[in-house]
Amino acid sequence: MSAIKNSYGVEANFDGLVGPSHHYAGLSDGNIASKSNAQSIANPKAAALQGLMKMKALADRGFAQGVLPPHLRPNTSVLRSIGFTGSDAEVIAKAWKQAPEIASRCFSASAMWTANAATVSPAPDTQDGKTHFTPANLTRMFHRSFESRFTARVLKQIFADERYFAHHDPLPAGHYFGDEGAANHTRLAPSHSEKGVEFFVYGEQAFNETRVKPTRYPARQSLEASYAIARLHGLDFDKTVFAQQNPDVIDQGVFHNDVIAVGTTNCLFHHEQAFYQSAEVIAELKAKMNSDDFSVVEVPTSQVSVQDAVSTYLFNTQLLDVSQGGKPSFMLVAPTECEENAAVSAYLKELEQSSSAPIDEVVFFDLRESMKNGGGPACLRLRVQLQQAELNGLGARVLIDDSLYEDLCDWVNTHYRDRLAYEDLTDPQLIDELKAAAIALEQVLGMSGLYELN
């Protein structure tokens, strides 16, 4: 196995550790997997171990691989904020009685999809030379709308060194500034450590009713939110592209741009139908990248339909730069669903062999538990481009090595159930189990006091 370490800059992937309350509640309108698996039986233990296996495999290949902790569930702060009182157990019992649809959402483990945790602009792109973080407000889906507070705390604790990192508050609540984080943001650049082009893809212009927008499913990212982040992060607008997602594909289940496009450094891999006015978008990206090394790999509908892209998550793959010695080369981390679909699997074989596209290797992972809620390999990770000094100075034990992997697997095996049905959420014993797991995890990650607030 080759080690892809770059002495002056790396792209670290911070994967969300699947939380012990992982279940299928059918909560996300426009997310076909979430809706169609509603109330099927989940296996939280398998879900967490599947995610850890991907992290370990990428760490073993030499990639910088981090982990972000799950959020404590149920979220009793939300229930208290809407008037439920008493001890935690009383608050939850009252909520189940008076407002079960709200109580159940407070158990969601959806923070596992850390591509929605924040938007990150690395130091080379920003005016002040710091890496900027804005936690996503996730305002469109109630069960996700209360993730940002805890996410902000986690990011501040891990990326604590103020010489290197700047943290912003989540954008104002409400769909006008609907922000779903890195799932709608791609950074392209000659290399991880050089100034790049930040590419924001939005679903709607919220203040402009006359513009095209999806009609069936919600647009979860607004242009206004993307602009706000670019301003807050101090980006150079000459090196920033704002593009509208094709509303027709949102209406076919592409609820985030990362379900239909993925990119890193010198490569953008996307479906023909991903963007509204696609030719203009690609031309602007090419002009702003201004490099012969930049390649755009466009997958035609004749080879892979939007429906197959959505059901296999071909584009919710991780595109990892494995270039060595000047020749661009990329590896794709795909879910096993891609291998099982005839059209997608044939396309991927052709891609690996093609000499015109720089994607030379595809590796598959079983992430079925997450996939059944609409979360593929790329949903599970937040990318942070870091210099070696920044990587060495993180404020918690979150970089995956053999010992952290083993500790986390032990922790999962000790604290997780292997079966969780929707009805099990009302089991009072589950609340104690979730708390005990959280307390133990603080020790493993060296993040004491992490779960004092949720």
Q: Which residues are catalytic?
A: 180, 256, 379
Candidate ranges 25-33, 52-60, 162-170, 282-290; the one touching ligand SUG (CB under 6 A)? 25-33
Determine the interface stretch with ligand SUG among 117-125, 211-219, 359-367, 368-376 (rule: CB under 6 A).
368-376
Return the residue of 79, 115, 334, 450 that touches ligand SUG, per CB under 6 A: 115
Nearer to ligand SUG, 138 or 447 (CB): 138
Judged by CB under 6 A, the stretch of 154-162, 277-285, 291-299, 370-378 that binds ligand SUG is 370-378
Q: Binding segment for ligand SUG among 148-156, 224-232, 234-242, 255-263 (CB under 6 A)?
A: 255-263
Contact 175, 206 (CB under 8 A): yes
Q: Report long-range pairs for 162-165 (Cβ below 8 Å, ≥24 apart).
A: 163/130, 164/123, 164/130, 164/131, 164/387, 164/389, 164/390, 164/393, 165/130, 165/131, 165/132, 165/133, 165/390
Residue in the structure block whose two tokens are 């807050």: 232
CB closer to ligand SUG, 135 vs 374 = 374
Question: Does residue 45 interact with ligand SUG by CB under 6 A?
Answer: no
User: Which lies closer to ligand SUG via its Cβ, residue 66 or residue 377?
Assistant: 377
Choose the stretch contacting ligand SUG; rule: CB under 6 A; options: 8-16, 23-31, 146-154, 162-170. 23-31
Q: Does 256 bind ligand SUG (CB under 6 A)?
A: yes
Contact set for ligand SUG, span 287-346 (CB under 6 A): none
- Distance between CA atoms of residues 316 and 429, nearest Å: 36
Question: Would you say 110 or 252 has its CB closer to ligand SUG?
Answer: 110
Q: Please identify which residue in 9, 11, 20, 34 interacts with ligand SUG, judged by CB under 6 A.
A: 34
- Please select the residue that binds ligand SUG; options are 43, 116, 134, 387, rule is CB under 6 A: 116
Is 119 a residue that touches ligand SUG (CB under 6 A)?
Answer: no
Exactly one of 223, 259, 396, 398 binds ligand SUG (CB under 6 A); that residue is 259
Nearer to ligand SUG, 44 or 374 (CB): 374
Is residue 24 a contact point for ligand SUG (CB under 6 A)? yes
By CB under 6 A, is residue 31 in contact with ligand SUG?
A: yes
Residue 113 binds to ligand SUG (criterion: CB under 6 A) = yes
User: Which residues face 187 on adjacent strands?
Assistant: 198
Residue nearer to ligand SUG on the CB measure, 51 or 375: 375
148 scored as a contact of ligand SUG (CB under 6 A)? no
Q: How far is residue 157's CA from residue 153's CA, in Å, rounded to a whole number?
A: 6
Of the candidate spans 21-29, 66-74, 221-229, 321-329, the one that interacts with ligand SUG by CB under 6 A turns out to be 21-29
Please report how close the Cβ of residue 74 comes to ligand SUG at its closest, in angstroms.
Answer: 14
Q: Which of residues 83-102 bind ligand SUG (CB under 6 A)?
A: none
Residue 18 touching ligand SUG (CB under 6 A) = no
By CB under 6 A, tell whether 27 contacts ligand SUG. yes
Query: CA neighbours within 13 Å on the CB side: how many for 88?
Result: 17
Total residues contacting ligand SUG by CB under 6 A comes to: 23
* 65 interacts with ligand SUG by CB under 6 A: no
Touching ligand SUG, residues 161-220 (CB under 6 A): 183
Strands 185-188 and 197-202 turn out to be antiparallel
Least distance from C-beta 173 to ligand SUG, angstroms? 16
118 binds ligand SUG (CB under 6 A): no
For ligand SUG, the closer CB: 34 or 323: 34
The contact set with ligand SUG (CB under 6 A) reads: 24-28, 31, 34, 108, 110, 113, 115-116, 141, 144, 183, 255-256, 258-259, 373-375, 379
